[in-house]
């Protein structure tokens, strides 16, 4: 009889532990929204392109700022684009469609966004396009980027502590005028997960500038004990030399290194950005090796595991189009199924990037 009671108590204990440590799944998505600006000027920022024409034409200093743009295409765009509230609302609705359908017909739990002008337009995205999606946290810390674009995060799970912005030193002289690395730690049940949102210097910059961003991110990761998911637009091409991703983030000979969600899922790179016939995986999801499978050594401990088979590049038919243009030789070239960028004239399109999404499991 005593043995039966002991067995019963053990079973009750095991049931309680199993219930306490039930599976909790959190999805993380990264999406470069491509120039999500509001319609007002932020002092000190070069955001004049994304203002209503009526405002630009009635403000001489705004017109002068447009005329001073060296690149002919960007100068013409600044002088002619009519970025009104109605156009902004259409852009928001289009982006929201992608977000709401990205996760098997649902929106992700944690959404990391690049090219967001300020927290005002991030709130507009949440309140106008994603009003019923349950995003409770709106996170954006203004950085030093000249154009005024930042990394932002929307989350359905609560923040566990205040967010931080890690600035990037491109030239060894301190913080530079580029996007910082946004750090946010969230509470998932009784567990915590830390997310780094990135938007590294573009391919118009030196490869060493992306290396500087990689070094800043690795430095910020040193003190992270929670499971760490690093995502964003890394703007890094395979031809970069030195290569900030291959030589720094994925290098197993370093004290800190990461696993790449796309490679672990597919065994190849399939691309999130298209440029003249070439697909490149600019947008990525990385997992810090030292924080993976934390607690899994003991059956009673909390366990964090990436669900590699859930990684995907969100690439739905409505997000794509065929692109035809005349190349430098005068030949007509057509590329099929490339990202359909937002067109302010027609109100159609989304972004020049495709989002990446992956799920993670706590037990």
Choose the CATH number for 26-37+86-362 among 3.10.20.520, 3.20.10.10, 3.90.470.10, 3.60.10.10. 3.60.10.10
Note whether 233 and 114 are within 8 A (CB).
yes
Residue 323: CB atoms within 10 Å: 16
Residue 197 has pLDDT above 70, yes or no: yes
Residue with tokens 């990525």: 284
Give the integer Cα–Cα distance in Å for 232 and 114. 7
Condensed to tens digits (0 to 9), the pLDDT of residues 262-271 reads: 999 999 999 9
Give the integer Cα–Cα distance in Å for 79 and 76. 5
Condensed to tens digits (0 to 9), the pLDDT of residues 108-125 reads: 999 999 999 999 999 999
The predicted model scores a pTM of 0.92
The stretch 52-77 carries a mean pLDDT of 97
Give the integer Cα–Cα distance in Å for 133 and 280. 31
Q: Considering only CA atoms, which of 205, 253, 260 is closest in space to residue 231?
A: 260
Sign of the CA dihedral running 64, 89, 233, 220: positive
Q: Which helix (H) or strand (E) holds 230?
A: strand 228-233
């Amino acid at each position: 009889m005593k043995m039966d009671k002991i067995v019963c108590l053990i079973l009750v204990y095991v049931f309680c532990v199993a219930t306490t440590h039930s599976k909790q799944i959190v999805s993380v998505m990264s999406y470069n929204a491509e120039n999500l600006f509001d319609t007002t000027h932020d002092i000190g920022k070069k955001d004049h392109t994304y203002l209503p024409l009526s405002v630009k034409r009635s403000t001489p200093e705004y017109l002068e700022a447009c005329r001073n743009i060296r690149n002919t295409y960007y100068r013409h765009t600044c002088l002619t684009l009519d970025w009104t509230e109605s156009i902004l609302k259409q852009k928001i609705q289009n982006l929201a469609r992608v977000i709401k359908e990205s996760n098997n017909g649902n929106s992700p739990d944690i959404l990391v966004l690049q090219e967001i002008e300020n927290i005002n337009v991030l709130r507009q995205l949440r309140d106008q396009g994603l009003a019923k999606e349950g995003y409770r946290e709106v996170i954006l810390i203004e950085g030093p980027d000249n154009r005024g674009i930042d990394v932002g995060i929307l989350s359905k799970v609560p923040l566990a502590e205040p967010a931080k912005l890690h600035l990037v030193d491109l030239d060894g002289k301190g913080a530079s005028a580029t996007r910082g690395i946004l750090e946010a730690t969230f509470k998932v049940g009784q567990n915590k997960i830390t997310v780094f949102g990135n938007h590294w210097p573009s391919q118009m910059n030196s490869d060493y500038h992306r290396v500087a961003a990689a070094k800043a991110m690795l430095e910020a990761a040193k003190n992270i004990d929670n499971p760490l998911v690093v995502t964003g637009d890394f703007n890094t091409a395979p031809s970069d030399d030195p290569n900030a991703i291959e030589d720094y983030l994925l290098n197993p000979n370093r004290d800190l290194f990461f696993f790449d969600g796309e490679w672990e899922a597919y065994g190849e790179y399939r691309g999130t950005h298209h440029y003249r016939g070439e697909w490149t995986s600019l947008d990525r999801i990385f997992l810090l090796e030292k924080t993976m499978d934390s607690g899994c050594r003991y059956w009673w401990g909390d366990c964090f595991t990436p669900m590699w088979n859930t990684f995907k590049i969100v690439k739905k038919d409505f997000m794509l189009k065929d692109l035809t243009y005349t190349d430098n030789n005068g030949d007509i070239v057509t590329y099929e199924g490339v990202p359909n960028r937002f067109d302010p004239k027609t109100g159609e399109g989304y972004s020049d990037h495709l989002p990446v999404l992956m799920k993670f499991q706590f037990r």
